[in-house]
Amino acid sequence: MSEERVAALRNRWFTTSIGITAAITLVGFVVGFLWLPLSHPSDRFRGAWDAICSAAGLLNKPSSSEQIVTANYPTTRVEVIPHMLDSADAVSIGRGATLALRCTMCHGARGLSQANSPNLAGQYPIVIYKQLMDFKTGARGSAVMAPLVADLTASDMRDLAAYYAYLPRITDSGTGRSMPRIVASGAPLRGIAPCGACHGEVGAKAGAAWLEGQPVAYLHTQLEAFASNARHNDIDEQMRNVARAMTPQEIDAASRYYAEHP
Ligand code: HEC
Ligand code: HEC
């Protein structure tokens, strides 16, 4: 038996294995942090350090403004905060009712449309306010709505939102159509969450509209408009990302389901 210690520099086996391990680590580092990132065709790095940081998952702030891509169309300027318009008083609702007299032609006397315009009765106040603001700034284009909101102030819009939110929604017509798969469970492989995760009673995302009972033609048009980017006022493209990934059959099924399920 040799008295020699294993972990000693004189032990040739020890130094060789340490050397091999170090070499593998170094090669792994160069391949993983430099070679692979730099050879990735879609990424542009400003030098080796940039590539290393990116491979390590560290976000790099762009140093020049040219790297920030801005949309070449108006986007929404409304910041949506949950519960931001929840506490309306009777005065605001009353003022809203007066202002709403010029909306009844299309949106109905009690906020329920007979003419394929969206129903507004019982809609979340944030949604009404945000959409009116977006029509005014041009973030949501509509030849019909744009002239109607041109002279509304932010406070008028809050009053209109309070009034419509206060009106009762349509009650259940009980058609009993079963929930299509796209609505019930989304399409996880295509990154679509169930609609109800944002539009439901439970998982209501601030700014996402109450959809039940809207005219089927309206729902259909909106989904197609989001998919084609013709409507682009959704914050962070939340709704466009969903609509783009939907098939025409799914758009059909979801529109029918929501239209028939007040
Ligand atoms: C001449 C018909 C007409 C009149 C009058 C009208 N609207 Fe509209 N409104 C529409 C149509 C059509 C749309 C759907 C626009 C689209 O397709 O993007 C709409 C959309 C809306 C939306 C968006 C609803 C949603 O769920 O996204 C709101 C809010 C709204 N109108 C409020 C009003 C208010 C408030 C008034 C009165 C000041 C008014 N409208 C007057 C036709 C009208
Ligand atoms: C990640 C959350 C999210 C999911 C999931 C989602 N939506 Fe939306 N949706 C939104 C938001 C937010 C808006 C409001 C966009 C805006 O600000 O104008 C919206 C708007 C809409 C509108 C327009 C409503 C109106 O009156 O203006 C329709 C129609 C719609 N969604 C249908 C669907 C359907 C159908 C599904 C399921 C296939 C779905 N959404 C899934 C977040 C979502």
Nearest CA owner, ligand 1 atom 5: 103
Closest CA to 258 of 71, 118, 67: 118
Residue in 174, 173, 180, 171 with CA at minimum distance from that of residue 256:
180
Q: Where is pLDDT greater, at 250 or 66? A: 250
pLDDT of residue 65: 56
Least confident of 110-119, 125-134, 248-257: 110-119
Cβ pair 119, 113 in contact under 8 A: yes
| pLDDT tens per residue, range 188-233 | 999 999 999 999 877 788 899 999 999 999 999 999 999 999 999 9
- Report the residue count for the chain: 262
pLDDT confidence of residue 114: 82
Where do we find the tokens 């090669």?
27
pLDDT in tens, 68-114: 777 889 999 998 888 788 888 999 999 999 999 999 999 999 999 88
For ligand 2, the distance from its centroid to the CA atom of residue 67, given in whole angstroms, is 29
pLDDT above 70: residue 62: no
Tell me the CA–centroid distance for residue 140 and ligand 2, in Å: 14
The Cα 99–Cα 156 span in angstroms is 8
111-127 pLDDT, tens digit each:
998 889 999 999 999 99
Q: Could you tell me if the CB of 223 is within 6 A of ligand 2?
A: yes
